[in-house]
Amino acid sequence: MSQDSQKTHLTLKIVIGMFAGIVIGALLQMSFDDSGDRVFNIFGMAFSTYGFFVDGIFNIGGAIFINSLKMLVVPLVFVSLVCGVSSLSDPSKLGRLGGKSVGLYVLTTCLAVTFALVAALIVKPGDGFVIDTEAEFAPSQAPGLAQVIIDMFPSNPINAMAEGNMLQIIVFAVLFGIAMAKCGEVGEKVQKAFEMVNDIIMKIVLIIMELAPYGVFFLMAKLAATTELAAFSNILVYFFLVFFLLILHALITYPTLLILLARLNPLTLLIKMKDTAIFAFSSSSSSATLPITLATAQRKLGVDRSVASFTIPLGATINMDGTAIMQGVATVFIAQVYGVDLSVTDLLMVVLTATLASIGTAGVPGVGLIMLAMVLQQVNLPVEGIALILGIDRLLDMTRTVVNVTGDCTIATIVSKSEGVLDEDVYNADPFSDEMVEAGKVEGHNS
């Protein structure tokens, strides 16, 4: 078997793992009795199917997989960003790069939440909804804007790494990279060492990707065994509206931006996102998916490392268009359920708060709901309303994470192109192949 077909095999295996997980998890749930479990007596000992499979095998397998990905995030972001910054010929480029990335991220988030508000006002998902839930939601305290800005600067970089605080790590890595580039011969030596470490960490990412079919299987099996479809029945309009808008944003907004701002074929990017999308979907976390997103941007989309190493981690933290879409629809939905009319000022407030909230919070599962609490408080809507959508949020969380990472890659590609450092040979290479090629290293086009 050729290396190429072996690699294509991997995507197929990941997809099979995903569907097998869904089917086996669903079958397991169907086998449970009213207690939500099925207990067998084997040689006089009680054997809980739920305990063995869901809390046991699926839980352990899935958690090990997610932890293995998360374990790479901090070293990968730090090392690759230091390499990226120090390889910039002109450090002043960094300001421009940052400006473009943040500007585009904020623009797409504003667009996303605006579309969501307009669509929800037209569709009215909350009309006729009867509150019959007993679920409760206790919001965590969201940080204020001043604190978000102060918190970007680490007082202790080791602590920032230990906590995985992405913005603080970015600030420290950028400074480190700039200083390293200014240190002449010594700096060059350290840079070489960083380059080598970077290659090694990237290799670990590729090794973990080989394990993805199993990891994805465990995650999906646990999800399918524990998701109760009954929760969906009275909230279907909300669910499908958010779902539809997420798909629309990924298939219309991003491709339009790619065509208008970078003159690239958007279909290529969407197809090349397939593995990253499955990781994002099954992990529900842009942060945990970051190693894969970074590898995809650099080695499949041809985004130069100086751009990818900065723009992708930044995006995993501040760019959450999918989450903003959910917040827009959820705010209107909750307002309609509680019979509150939102004024134009309220709607503008929602756009502003949802965008700021997306900047201040990290991409981890369920964080969208914490941000939603912030948005609701801003326009004086009852935060308890979140309980209405809690039961079905997980599936939407998975889907919006896919949109979030697709947005990160789209913006990184546009910024790279605008800086004249997108390797279009890599970008245009066969989108169905899973081969990872470093920018500038496509066969026959080495530069």
Binding stretches for ligand ASP (CB under 6 A): 284-286, 320, 323, 363-368, 397, 400-401, 404
Q: How far is the CB of 287 from ligand ASP (least distance, A)?
A: 6
Q: How far is the CB of 275 from ligand ASP (least distance, A)?
A: 17
Q: Tokens 């997809």, residue?
A: 15
Nearer to ligand ASP, 357 or 426 (CB): 357
Q: How far is the CB of 286 from ligand ASP (least distance, A)?
A: 4
Nearer to ligand ASP, 126 or 365 (CB): 365
Nearer to ligand ASP, 181 or 373 (CB): 373
* Half-sphere exposure at residue 176, Cβ-oriented, CA atoms within 13 angstroms: 19
User: H helices of 40-91, where?
Assistant: 49, 59-86
Using DSSP, state whether 442 is helix, strand or coil: coil
> In whole angstroms, how far apart are CA 105 and each of 99, 127, 157, 253, 435?
10, 32, 25, 13, 28
Nearer to ligand ASP, 384 or 397 (CB): 397
In the structure encoding, which two tokens stand for residue 95, read together?
């300001």
Nearer to ligand ASP, 262 or 376 (CB): 376
Q: How far is the CB of 257 from ligand ASP (least distance, A)?
A: 19
Q: How far is the CB of 396 from ligand ASP (least distance, A)?
A: 8
Nearer to ligand ASP, 323 or 331 (CB): 323
Nearer to ligand ASP, 13 or 274 (CB): 274
Q: How far is the CB of 405 from ligand ASP (least distance, A)?
A: 7
Q: How far is the CB of 323 from ligand ASP (least distance, A)?
A: 3
Q: What is the DSSP string of 187-220?
A: HHHHHHHHHHHHHHHHHHHHHHHHTHHHHHHHHH
Q: How far is the CB of 445 from ligand ASP (least distance, A)?
A: 34
CB under 8 Å to 257, separation ≥6 — which residues? Answer: 104, 108, 410, 414
The b-or-e profile of 57-76 (16+ CB within 10 A means b, else e) is ebbebbeebbebbbebbbbb
CB under 8 Å to 63, separation ≥6 — which residues? Answer: none
- Judge whether 312 and 409 are in contact, CB under 8 Å: yes
Q: Tokens 């996102």, residue?
A: 273
Q: Tokens 């077909």, residue?
A: 5
Class of residue 151 by CB neighbours under 10 A (exposed 0-12, middle 13-18, buried 19+): middle
Question: Residue number with the shortest CB distance to ligand ASP?
Answer: 368
What is the 8-class DSSP label of residue 303? B
- Judge whether 10 and 214 are in contact, CB under 8 Å: no
41 pairs with which residues across the strands? 46
* Distance of alpha carbon 25 from the chain centroid: 24
Phi, psi (deg, nearest 5) at residue 40: -110, 150
Nearer to ligand ASP, 86 or 286 (CB): 286
Nearer to ligand ASP, 109 or 285 (CB): 285
Q: How far is the CB of 109 from ligand ASP (least distance, A)?
A: 12
Nearer to ligand ASP, 253 or 401 (CB): 401
Nearer to ligand ASP, 360 or 368 (CB): 368
Q: How far is the CB of 113 from ligand ASP (least distance, A)?
A: 13
Alpha-carbon dihedral angle through residues 150, 152, 158, 164, given to the nearest 10 degrees: 130
- The crossing angle, in degrees rounded to 10, of helices 274-283 and 212-226 is 40
Phi, psi (deg, nearest 5) at residue 363: -80, 85
CA pair distance 158, 382, nearest whole angstrom = 39
Q: How far is the CB of 24 from ligand ASP (least distance, A)?
A: 24
Helix (H) or strand (E) holding 48: strand 45-48
